Amino acid sequence: MNIYRHGDLLIREIKELPKTIKKLVKTDKFVLAEGETTGHKHLLKDKTKTGFEVYQDVNGNFVLDLKVDAEVSHEEHKTVKIKKGIYFVEHEKEFDWFEKATKKVVD
């Protein structure tokens, strides 16, 4: 099982596509997340141009079906190579003890 971290994103391999997701697009480039303050983005690319499928669950999380290896790049992070497979993408969260609430980490 492969797990990748890229800034505030966690990309973890899953065994199969969930049943309750909707297909968004088949493409060779997709923005997984945009920086809230800088405008920088986590860009997933398939250099072979084979294409991959992007799905979304009811909570707005992306599910990726990569037919070939791909990579995630960002202006402030190293490029990470992702092996082909099915992946669930989630935003990292942190607990704010003062507000007693969980918040999405801002990149």
Using CB atoms within 10 Å of the CB of residue 2, give its burial: 0 to 12 exposed, 13 to 18 middle, 19+ buried.
exposed
Residues 41-97: tens digit of each pLDDT: 888 999 888 889 999 999 899 999 999 999 999 877 789 999 999 999 998 665 566
Three-state DSSP state, 101: strand
pLDDT of 96 reads 61
Indicate the number of domains in the chain.
Answer: 1
Can you read off the two tokens belonging to residue 69?
A: 């290896």
Higher pLDDT residue, 14 or 101? 14
> Residue 10 is part of which domain span?
3-104
Mean pLDDT within 98-107? 61
List all residues 6 or more positions away from 93 whose beta carbon is below 8 Å from its beta carbon. Answer: 102, 103, 104, 105
Residue 7 reports pLDDT greater than 90: no
Residue 105 reports pLDDT greater than 70: no
**Prediction pTM value:** 0.82
| CA terminus-to-terminus distance, the chain | 26
pLDDT of 49 reads 83
